[in-house]
Amino acid sequence: MLHPLLVLLSTAALLQVGLATPLSVRDVAAEPGNVTSDSLEDAEAGRNCFCTMEYAPVCAGNKVYSNKCKAMCAGEMEHSLGGCNQSS
């Protein structure tokens, strides 16, 4: 008799967690506050690039991007971590 009760309580707990968190990981990733299009240029060029707003700067094409995803969306496949070294 104890096992069916545990199953019932476990199911109820899972339902409560499901109701308490209506957004899935996929939904959260698609919220406007969590992702950003790389730039107006990308939108005009028809690129559908969506990146997190993580700040982990990379240098690509002698330009600093806020993260690797944004650099790749701009067409820059080769990049290095951090800012760009400006040699004079």
Note if the pTM is more than 0.85: no
CATH topology of domain 25-88: Wheat Germ Agglutinin (Isolectin 2); domain 1 (3.30.60)
Q: What is the pLDDT of residue 56?
A: 93
- Extended beta strands in the chain, E state: 35-37, 50-52, 58-60, 63-65, 80-81
For the chain, the domains span 25-88
Q: What is the pLDDT of residue 35?
A: 42
4-22 tens-digit pLDDT = 655 555 555 544 544 443 4
62-81 tens-digit pLDDT = 899 999 999 988 888 888 99
If phi over 0 gives left and psi between -120 and 50 gives alpha, with beta otherwise, what is residue 69? alpha
